[in-house]
Amino acid sequence: MRIDLHTHSNASDGTQEPAEVVASAAAAGLDVVALTDHDTSAGWAEAIAAGERLGVRVLPGVEVSCLQRGISVHLLSYLHDPAHPALAALLEGSRTSRLTRARSMVERLGADTGLTWEDVLAQVHGDATVGRPHIADALVAKGLVPDRDEAFATLLSGRSRYFVPHSAPDPVEAVRLVREAGGVPVLAHPAASKRGSCIADTDIDEMVEAGLLGLEVDHRDHSADERAHLRDVARGLDLLVTGSSDYHGAGKKNLIGEHLTAPDVLEAVLAAARPPAEPQSRAGGRHVPGA
Ligand code: AMP
Ligand code: FE
Ligand code: FE
Ligand code: ZN
């Protein structure tokens, strides 16, 4: 069984349609793929339908943007109820704040580069969750940088004078809400130090008290030492260990299926998810093929 539990579509900052992500998963020989767009479940229905056609089991998820004392923290949630009011409101708040923030960054960039909001909107698919990758794509389209990587290394870096943060929930609060919504919370790339500061192990303890169930350990942004350390942390706290690609289509070098999650871990994720109350659940809303 080949299982990849972290991918993005153009419902956020990936470059492929949700169905194309699932087709890429099939082409890579994956049996299971989780679609985990930033702060939105908009791609779920299309991905699940494609999975049924292509014989790939699609695990619906979201990557929840969080901020812990100014440090960006990403929390994966699997199989939560997307209609849970508090969780849905939290995600909508982040999407709105991301829009405001992107406009501010474009205003700052525009003064020096001529970049406009329309340039950025041309890169955003429908009402996708907007992020710096869309600004990067607009800079590429204008010929100001060669690719997303270069944009992130220069104009869009967290240290750039054009950078503006967006507001996001505290990770402990997010973990609590994901559990309340019946989801399975797994901390994404906890030691990806190349992206900026990371939270401390003591912060992970607090998240575990709130209901965190796993750590994403095998990820290209973690060194061998960081993976070994995270495995120790997970063992000590009795947490699940996942491995995933964080695939973004052509938007990043990450290849779908480049890191995998063990079948017994997937079983534990499925077992930890709480199904929604039946009468209220909408037809097909949370159906996981084969579950
Ligand atoms: P944001 O959430 O808007 O601050 O932007 C961060 C997002 O940009 C992350 O989700 C990454 O997937 C993406 N990202 C970060 N660095 C790069 C890079 N060098 N190339 C492409 N995408 C990146
Ligand atoms: Fe991303
Ligand atoms: Fe992430
Ligand atoms: Zn991601």
Q: What is the pLDDT of residues 82-133, one digit of tens each?
A: 999 999 999 999 999 999 999 999 999 999 999 999 999 999 999 999 999 9
Q: What is the pLDDT of residues 154-167, one digit of tens each?
A: 999 999 999 999 99
88 alpha carbon – ligand 4 mean position (Å): 19
Strands 240-243 and 214-218 turn out to be parallel
209 alpha carbon – ligand 2 mean position (Å): 27
Superfamily name with CATH number, domain 3-92+167-272: Metal-dependent hydrolases (3.20.20.140)
> Tell me, what's the pLDDT at 280?
53
What residue type is assigned to position 86 of the chain? A
C-alpha 63: how far from chain center:
3
75 alpha carbon – ligand 3 mean position (Å): 8
Nearest to 187 by CA among 133, 196, 198, 118: 198
Query: Is residue 14 lining ligand 1, measured as CB closer than 6 Å?
Result: no
Mean pLDDT over 41-55 rounds to: 98
Query: Is residue 13 lining ligand 1, measured as CB closer than 6 Å?
Result: yes
Number of the ligand 1 atom closest to the C-alpha atom of 133: 8
Helix axes 201-210, 224-237, angle to 10 degrees: 40
> Tell me, what's the pLDDT at 275?
79
Mean pLDDT over 15-30 rounds to: 98
Query: Is residue 149 lining ligand 1, measured as CB closer than 6 Å?
Result: yes
> Tell me, what's the pLDDT at 55?
98
280 alpha carbon – ligand 3 mean position (Å): 32
Distance between start and end Cα atoms, the chain: 15
Q: Is residue 271 predicted with pLDDT exceeding 70?
A: yes
Cα(234)–Cα(212) distance, integer angstroms: 11
Q: Is residue 290 predicted with pLDDT exceeding 80?
A: no
Q: Per the confidence metrics, is the pTM higher than 0.85?
A: yes
Q: Is residue 281 predicted with pLDDT exceeding 80?
A: no
C-alpha 143: how far from chain center:
28
Q: Which residues pair with 187 in a beta bridge?
A: 75, 215
Cα(260)–Cα(219) distance, integer angstroms: 9
Both tokens assigned to 251: 């938007």
Q: Give every CB contact of residue 187 below 8 A, 6+ residues apart in sequence.
A: 73, 74, 75, 76, 171, 204, 207, 212, 214, 215, 216
Read off the DSSP letter of residue 250. B
